[in-house]
Chains A and B, each alone.
Chain A
Amino acid sequence: MLPEFDLLRPHTLPEALALLAEQAPDIMPLAGGTNLIVELRGGRRSPKKLVDVSRLRELRGICRDDGHLVIGGGTTITELLAHPLIGEHGRPLRQAAAMLGNPLVRNRATVAGNLANASPAADTAPPLLALGAEIELVSSQGARRVPLDEFMVGVNKTLIRPDELLASLRWPVPPARSAARFCKIGLRKADACSVINAAAMVVWDEGGRCRQARIAIGAAAPRPVRAYAAETALQGQLLQSRAIEEAAHLAVQATDPIDDIRGTAAYRRRMAEVTVRRLLMQIAEVAGK
């Protein structure tokens, strides 16, 4: 049974933002509901008011804007899976979308919801971090852009203000000489919460040397983390086993996992190394072609 709340249903984004401005902090946005409704039922959250943003057209849309891929926060996970621009310029995000929850959930769950809920295991986070994404937070006061790295600060904690909505996100169209991949480890082959997840993107020069690397790991710390030491170690290196193994080894340092019902901290640390190594090997294979 769900607790009692008022549900406001604005028709436009400005209406929604006005309601948030007026009623904050007792009001929360409701999009796909795939996390929030579960939390309401379980008593983990009990806002007095919800504002339904699930049908606001302004929050949808996937397009290429100059050198960036821009997606509305209300984009569903299914839309990510289906859209050719994501397949072309956001490959790790598409991989994550295919493994997030299940198709019924994906038809409702939104990218903004996944990020704003900020579970450390959020599957869209590592790919977007690897892609160098930036999010746009809007309120009736205006808009601000925040790099995704800075946005997620802890378990279910982000920088979002009570009167803001995560309206869109963008990332630079990856250059031709680059590849990015995602993987996750779950306890069954579908519809499984990640025990650990990770994404990596590498940009290389004409000689095949790494110009830039981003490695992100989730479910291994209070928030998804970037493995900066590993990224730095790859700089200027050819993507060969030794460099990859060293980077994978360094990536573990970025993690700070706990023991929980799905896995031990030790296992997560060990898997951080395995997953990062495998991602870099996959990318190396693409680079080699």
Chain B
Amino acid sequence: MTRYTAKPLPPIQLPELRQVGKPLRRVDAMGKAVGATAYAGDFSMPRMLHAKVFRSSQASAYIKRLDVRKARSLAGVACVLTAADVPNARLASDIPGQTGQQIRAGSEVPALASDRVRFYGEPIALIAAETPNIAERAMPLIEIEYEPLPGVYDPMEAMKPGAPNLHPPDNIVARWKIRKGNTEAGFAEADLIVENTFRLPYQEHAYLEPEAGVAWIDERGVINIRVSTQVIEHFRSIARAVGVPQNKIRIQGTMVGGGFGGKEDITVEIYLALLAKHTNRPVKLVYTREESILGHSKRHPYLIKHRTGVKKHGRISAAEIELISDSGAYPYLSPYVLLYSAVMSNGPYRVDNLRVEAATVATNNPYTSAFRGFGGPQACFAYEQQMDAIAEKLGMDPLELRKINYVRAGDSTSTGQVLESAAWLEETATRAMAALGDKTPDHGPLKVGQGFASYFQSYGRIMWLHDTSQAWVGVELDGTVTVRAGVPDLGAGQANSLCQIAAEVLGVPLEHVSIYCTDSAITPLSGTSTATRQLYMSGNATLMAATNVRQALLDRASKHFAEEIETLDMAEGRVFVKSNPSKFVELADLAKACAAEGAHLANLAMFKAPFSDPIDPETGQGSVFPDFTFGAYAVEVAVDTETGQLAVLKAAACHDVGRAINRAAVEGQIAGGGMQGLGYALMENLIVKDGVIQTPSLSEYLIPTCKDFPKTTVIILESGTGVGPFGAKGIGEPSFTPAAPALASAVADAIGVRIHELPLTPERVLAAIDGAKK
């Protein structure tokens, strides 16, 4: 592979900022470093009960008989609940967030299975007892008899008429279609047609913190739930399921020990609420690792078929893409994951004639839902491998083929949405590859390859969901700043970014900003920590609120100095005249003056994402996302051609993040997301057989250790063209998307044959090498 030169960037001059962009120590860092930060499992309340969830040991069965009397009468057991006790406890599983509306019938999930279980591990009963030990001893006392029902474990089988049915009328949970241009004509003019099928596996989130929470009813009858969650707006669904008014449920979200989409759906909250309500005592529930792996969602396995027509000089003339995903036993967010993968299925390439058919199918497998990238990574693995395959057939360099087809700002996506921000595809791909340097020579049985993947990934939620976010910013009378926002912090620095923005706008050091967050009762709701939306939405809300406060303060200051507002600035806790900084007033004094006059020192702002209408059901045309992030990942890998083992020698990532708010946090997301993607590609093998997970703990399901991959070279580009604060884009999910296809591409370069399936286990690699020899 020839070495690439970095494509020059347009001369962009982003304004120098004082706090934003700097790698400042995050507001949450020290508490975590000294072990002071309490996570959801670290809390206790007086008279607290301990809960356990009794789960199905069948993947597909009727419950013939369920008798909990023995468990109930064990000394120390306070309560055992079954579906019979909580018949209305059903959860809306699609689209968490502001609206709480269910868009699709059949997307409800029973909190506890009543007559039928649809997946291995489905919750059937809840136990609350005086000690964890007693709760555990009560479990085998629950008597249950199943009548096995034929199950279906393959989406292709589940689509066939007569297949065992999970939810009426058939197992097709959702479909999406995209039609653009004229594919028949497009294929007719192609010089070459390339067809390939790709398979993507499950992935387990494997956050270090298993699900946990504590619930209690306070003196006003409010059910408080202190829980590790990505979404505090679930209080609405929980209120409905538990049968209390919405204003009688309070979710206090804790610092989350890793989410990645696995804590996006309701996890332990509902069980805690039900048990607290039935016992009238505080209840704690903490999952074991095995229970976490068993009990929460997974990344969707996909089958993706590409049929692409190209002209001999490389221009794509038509594409037909079919996507089928395994939705598992309950829909959860499958329809939306499917949408993302359909919209992004053709990649960041201009395809004027496009036909996409996508379906997500129910099976008796573990249920699938949100996981970093939300369908985008699966699509990316397929489209990038397909582009490489086309390049190979045409005898073209992979980058050259892409350059002919890359979208640019002003082009439209598969759904006809015009791309408005910078699409730095060649810029990022060339830099990522250049960072790998010269290829390490082959040595003995080791063959070395280099490869890259380009991608685009949305940030911000689907626009017809009418996303909003609120933040409150205020100045205290001593000049310190307070931020209040519902934002759940998953560790990416969501809360810190809001503080850093407020610090920038109000001209105070970051250490003078305090944030209170993640409380559904007392902090303004900022929406979900999902869909790479927090910086965009809550960052903008905070920017608005802080700017409004700044305006009010400068207004008062301009009267104080008898100068126009435009001549004033705020920095280091002072308000001063720009041309004569010795003319200043301390922010504290200005705040006191405002307070004395009844002028506002605080502001609550709502940021609204652009609202659109749903895309056309027949053509899929319309605007879907607020914006996209573009970038690339490059890998150099050594393949041991005798054992099939892979060693990543070098890794580089280059993303246009628009504007980095906290540089260290952005680097961390890029490095961490990339590694999670390499894990997905190489070693994360969730084996499911007849609906039962065969890799129940972290001994069998392997995630990367610090020895598995080298340090990633992180190259951050800032086009300033994002719709987030200061021109920021999102990076949380985008950082994950291109890593797996980059590794696959490098492996293909090393061994001369492409593997269309993940993970790239040694046996799979060896089989590909053997196949190539024949």
Contact = CB atoms under 8 A, between A and B. Distances in A.
B761 interface: yes
B708 interface: yes
Contact of A188 (B642, B643, B683, B694): B683
Interface string B421-444: 000000000000000000000000
A191 B705 contact: yes
A267 B708 contact: no
A190 B699 contact: no
B705 A189 contact: yes
Contacts of B645: 185
A243 to B, nearest CB: 19
A154 B136 CA distance: 33
B702 interface: yes
B763 interface: yes
| Interface of B (DSSP majority class) | loop
Nearest to A191: B705
Contacts of B687: 261
B557 interface: no
Interface in B686-733: 687, 694-695, 699-700, 702, 704-708
Given A190-B707, A261-B694, A267 B762 contact: yes
Nearest to B648: A189
A188 to B, nearest CB: 5
A255 to B, nearest CB: 16
B762 A1 contact: no
Nearest to B701: A261
Nearest to B687: A261
A202 B704 CA distance: 36
Contact of B766 (A188, A191, A267): A267
Given A1-B133, A185-B762, A274-B642, A261 B705 contact: no
Contact of A193 (B136, B699, B704, B706): B699
Given A185-B762, A263-B763, A267-B762, A274 B643 contact: yes
A193 B766 CA distance: 20
Interface string A238-261: 000000000000000000000001
Contact of B707 (A189, A264, A270, A274): A189
Q: Which of B694, B695, B708 has the most CB of A within 10 A?
A: B708
A160 interface: no
A187 interface: yes
Interface in B439-463: none
Contact of A187 (B132, B133, B694, B702): B702
B392 to A, nearest CB: 28
B646 to A, nearest CB: 10
B705 to A, nearest CB: 4
A190 B705 contact: yes
A188 B702 contact: yes
A261 B695 contact: yes
B708 to A, nearest CB: 5
Contacts of A193: 699
Contacts of B705: 102, 188-191
Given A1-B133, A261-B695, A187 B761 contact: yes
A271 interface: yes
B708 A190 contact: yes
A190 B706 CA distance: 8
Interface string B133-167: 10010000000000000000000000000000000
Q: Which of B647, B687, B706, B762 has the most CB of A within 10 A?
A: B762
Contacts of B642: 274
A274 B641 CA distance: 11
A191 B701 CA distance: 12
B763 A188 contact: no
B704 A188 contact: yes
A190 B682 CA distance: 14
A143 interface: no
Contacts of A263: 762-763
B643 A185 contact: yes
A1 B288 CA distance: 9
Contacts of A192: 702
A272 to B, nearest CB: 11
B707 A187 contact: no
Given A261-B694, A274-B643, A187 B699 contact: no
Interface in B223-271: none
A195 B643 CA distance: 11
Contacts of A185: 643, 645, 762
Contacts of A267: 762-763, 766
B702 A264 contact: no
Contacts of A191: 705
Nearest to A275: B643
A195 B702 CA distance: 13
Interface string B726-752: 000000000000000000000000000
B487 to A, nearest CB: 34
Contact of B683 (A102, A187, A270, A274): A187
Q: Which of B136, B642, B706, B766 has the most CB of A within 10 A?
A: B642
Interface string A257-289: 000011110010011001000000000000000
Interface string B750-774: 0000000000011100100000000
A190 to B, nearest CB: 4
B759 to A, nearest CB: 9
Given A188-B708, A189-B707, A261-B700, A1 B132 contact: yes
Contacts of B699: 193
Contacts of A262: 700
A267 B761 CA distance: 11
Contacts of A264: 763
Nearest to A192: B702
A81 to B, nearest CB: 16
Contacts of A189: 647, 705, 707-708
Interface in B91-140: 132-133, 136
A1 B137 CA distance: 10
A189 B675 CA distance: 14
B758 to A, nearest CB: 14
B762 A187 contact: yes
Contacts of B704: 188
Contacts of B766: 267, 270
A112 B667 CA distance: 45
A271 B643 contact: yes
A262 B685 CA distance: 9
A281 B132 CA distance: 55
A264 B643 CA distance: 13
Contacts of B647: 189
A189 B704 CA distance: 8
Contacts of B700: 261-262
Nearest to A102: B705
A273 to B, nearest CB: 9
A96 B132 CA distance: 39
A257 B706 CA distance: 30
Nearest to A4: B133
A192 B682 CA distance: 14
A193 B683 CA distance: 13
Interface in A188-225: 188-193, 195
B286 to A, nearest CB: 11
Nearest to B133: A1
Contacts of A271: 643
A179 to B, nearest CB: 20
A270 B763 CA distance: 11
B747 to A, nearest CB: 16
A117 to B, nearest CB: 14
Interface of B: 132-133, 136, 642-643, 645, 647, 682-683, 685, 687, 694-695, 699-700, 702, 704-708, 761-763, 766
29 contacts: A1-B132, A1-B136, A185-B643, A185-B762, A187-B761, A187-B762, A188-B682, A188-B702, A188-B705, A188-B707, A189-B647, A189-B705, A189-B707, A190-B705, A190-B707, A190-B708, A191-B705, A192-B702, A261-B687, A261-B694, A262-B700, A263-B763, A267-B762, A267-B763, A267-B766, A270-B766, A271-B643, A274-B642, A274-B643
